[in-house]
Amino acid sequence: MKSWLTTTDHKRIALLYLGTMTLFFTLGGLVATVIRVELATAASDLVTADTYNRLFTLHGVIMVFFFLIPSIPTFLGNYLLPLMLGAPDLAFPRLNLASWYVFVAGGLLTLTAMVAGGLDTGWTFYTPYSTTFSDSHVILAVLGVFLAGLSSVFTGINFIVTTHRLRAPGLAWLRLPLFVWSLYATSLILVLATPVLAMTLLLVAIERGLHVGIFDPEAGGSPLLFQHFFWFYSHPAVYIMILPGMGVISELVPCFSRNRPFGYGFVAASSLAIAVFGFLVWGHHMFVAGQSYFASVVFSFLSFAVAVPSGVKVFSWLGTMHRGSIWLTTPMIYALGFIALFTIGGGTGLALAMLAVDVHLHDTYFVVAHFHTIMVGGMLMAYLGGLHFWWPKISGRLYSERWGRIAAYTLFIGFLLTFLPQFVLGTQGLPRRTASYPPEFQFLQGLSSAGATILAVGYVLPGVYLLASLVRGRPAGDNPWGATGLEWCTSSPPPPHNFVRPPVVTDDPYDYPRAPQPTITGVGDA
């Protein structure tokens, strides 16, 4: 136990993060369940409207700051980055451990706020409600999120320095795995956007606790300024969540298509382009918030620009599968689910970026459905795909491929059933964040709640068969999928210093025609 809590091994820290985030995800998921049960009927009968506010805030804060943002970087990234670079560890191992402790401290503070009576501001902490009117535990919660942000900054710095300074001999930039490119772009956002949120939340705490009129219009402050700051972070934060997911998909698709990625250079560059453009579009969250008309037009235009590099990625995945030899394993099912749902989520995002359309759809279920399609449909599919892809490497065991596929399909169906009705609800004008609604929306809301039940089953299943594989799974061998990449050249799980002999890279990545044959047998269509 103690050797785990004082470890500086990036692989162990990654597993500490996995355990912590699974707890947060379970909590956030349970709250989502209560919300969906409440919404199954039109009246507010299970919880009061006030409790409902606290529930969706808890769900949002936990899922955004304690699962979606850290998930892929701190677990898969932490585990795989040094392996993929051929390095013995991250550049600053103690900073890495510190980041986990800070993360846990932030989580505990936030949970304390939730237990002590909750938070009802929504995950966005909008002023002046959060600073003046809310009677919930705003200060405690923002300090918790502040600490989670600090932990992100530590991780980001570590990844940037590691990628620059600890690449194996011969591993030039244009030989880096695409997952590393996406982690690098994510780290830039983590380091450069998070401080803006950190300071903004501290200002909220100062205004609320010490009565300084920073955002208070009565005292010359500006609530709009809060929204500028908040979205300057929180829009790039969307790319913090989705970019690593895109990186995972860029690993899965070439491996299970047995093909080189189509347009490697463009995919690598598109990660950086998304990181850069992501910083220029925050104002599209403020179209109806009283922002100047001029700024709205500028931000609407820029928001379309960010769709271009995302489109480049989708084309690359399709192009990689084209004339590939597709092998429909569990990770690949998740990858295909990601591509489908990300395209739906991205397309509806463009609808929302249109100034006139947004005035109608703003703060309706359409927005809820849009970002859940990107976050749950996209990011979570990628997370689970990556988890299944690298699980044999991390645990050294094979899980049940049959149950893996069943769970993946269950999730996909459950997802569509939960969130497609919400797009319709939104276009019909149903506002979000209300516990009760007019009875004519009953059918679609009921459909959504039914879908959520299926979704919940899809989440529980991997927890069961992955844990079972630890006990009953067959040994995985070094490279069960026949994948390329340095992480597959070492044992499963890797030894403490990752490689017995420091690797030297002589080839370009993804040389799939010449990759080793898969060693998995008995999983069907291999």
Partner 1 sequence: MPEAVREPFADPAHQRDAVALGMWAFLGQEVLFFGVLFVFYTSLRVRHPELFAAFAPRLDWRLATVMTVALLISSFTMALAVRFAFTRARRSLVLALSTTMILGAAFLALKGWEYAHHFEHGETPQIDLAGLGRGPGLATFFGVYFVLTGFHALHVLGGLGALGWLAVAAWRTPASDLRGSPVMAVGLYWHFVDIVWLFLFPALYLAGRLAP
Partner 2 sequence: MNHESPAPTIAAAFLALLALLALTATTVALAFLELPPAVHVALAMSIAAIKAGLVVAVFMHLMREAPATRLVALVSVILLSILMLLVVVDVRHLGGG
For binding to partner 1 (CB under 8 A), which residues are involved?
Answer: 3, 6-9, 82, 87-95, 153, 156-158, 160-161, 164-166, 191-196, 198-200, 203, 206, 210-214, 216, 218-222, 225, 228-229, 497
Residue whose CB is less far from partner 1, 189 or 435: 189
Which residues, in sequence order, are CB contacts of 82 under 8 Å at separation 6+? Answer: 10, 88, 89, 90, 162, 166, 498
Instruction: Please tell me whether residue 116 binds partner 2 under the rule CB under 8 A.
Output: no
Residue 268: is it exposed, middle or buried by C-beta count within 10 angstroms (0-12/13-18/19+)? buried
Taking CB under 8 A as the criterion, the residue among 295, 305, 470, 504 binding partner 2 is: 295
Residue whose CB is less far from partner 1, 166 or 351: 166
Token pair 């009576």 in the structure block, residue = 117
In the complex, least distance from residue 217 CB atom to partner 2, rounded to whole angstroms: 7
Which residues, in sequence order, are CB contacts of 399 under 8 Å at separation 6+? Answer: 330, 388, 391, 392, 465, 466, 468, 469, 473
Q: Scanning residues 241 to 280, which ones bind partner 2 (CB under 8 A)?
A: 279-280
Instruction: Please tell me whether residue 223 binds partner 2 under the rule CB under 8 A.
Output: no
* CA–CA separation, 400 and 391 (whole Å): 12
* Residue at 486: amino acid letter: L
Residue whose CB is less far from partner 1, 197 or 267: 197
Taking CB under 8 A as the criterion, the residue among 160, 420, 454, 461 binding partner 2 is: 160
* CA–CA separation, 447 and 421 (whole Å): 7
How far is residue 76 from each of residues 9, 14, 391, 432, measured CA to CA in Å? 14, 7, 10, 33
Instruction: Please tell me whether residue 289 binds partner 2 under the rule CB under 8 A.
Output: no
Instruction: Please tell me whether residue 240 binds partner 2 under the rule CB under 8 A.
Output: no
Residue whose CB is less far from partner 2, 220 or 513: 220
Which residues, in sequence order, are CB contacts of 472 under 8 Å at separation 6+? Answer: none
Residue whose CB is less far from partner 1, 43 or 295: 295
Residue whose CB is less far from partner 2, 298 or 526: 298
Residue whose CB is less far from partner 1, 92 or 101: 92
Q: Where are the alpha helices (DSSP H) in 428-511?
A: 442-472
SS3 assignment, position 482: coil
The item of partner 1, partner 2, none sharing an interface with residue 102, based on CB under 5 to 8 Å by kind, is none
The item of partner 1, partner 2, none sharing an interface with residue 122, based on CB under 5 to 8 Å by kind, is none
Q: Scanning residues 175 to 204, which ones bind partner 2 (CB under 8 A)?
A: 188, 192, 196
* CA–CA separation, 35 and 50 (whole Å): 13
* Residue at 149: amino acid letter: G
The item of partner 1, partner 2, none sharing an interface with residue 218, based on CB under 5 to 8 Å by kind, is partner 1
Residue whose CB is less far from partner 2, 193 or 242: 193
How far is residue 66 from each of residues 17, 22, 61, 235, 381, measured CA to CA in Å? 10, 10, 7, 17, 17
The item of partner 1, partner 2, none sharing an interface with residue 256, based on CB under 5 to 8 Å by kind, is none
* CA–CA separation, 172 and 167 (whole Å): 8
* CA–CA separation, 463 and 203 (whole Å): 40
Instruction: Please tell me whether residue 224 binds partner 2 under the rule CB under 8 A.
Output: yes
Instruction: Please tell me whether residue 228 binds partner 2 under the rule CB under 8 A.
Output: yes
Residue 504: is it exposed, middle or buried by C-beta count within 10 angstroms (0-12/13-18/19+)? exposed
In the complex, least distance from residue 225 CB atom to partner 1, rounded to whole angstroms: 6
- Cβ(366)–Cβ(423) below 8 Å: yes
Taking CB under 8 A as the criterion, the residue among 6, 265, 294, 521 binding partner 2 is: 294
Task: Please calculate the CA angle 19-179-193 and round it to the nearest 5 degrees.
Answer: 75
Instruction: Please tell me whether residue 164 binds partner 2 under the rule CB under 8 A.
Output: yes
The item of partner 1, partner 2, none sharing an interface with residue 206, based on CB under 5 to 8 Å by kind, is partner 1
| Rounded-to-10 torsion of CA 26, 379, 33, 141 | 60
In the complex, least distance from residue 191 CB atom to partner 1, rounded to whole angstroms: 5
Instruction: Please tell me whether residue 497 binds partner 2 under the rule CB under 8 A.
Output: no
Residue whose CB is less far from partner 1, 166 or 328: 166
Q: Which residues bind partner 2 (CB under 8 A)?
A: 160, 164, 188, 192, 196, 217, 220, 222, 224-225, 228, 232, 279-280, 283, 290-295, 298
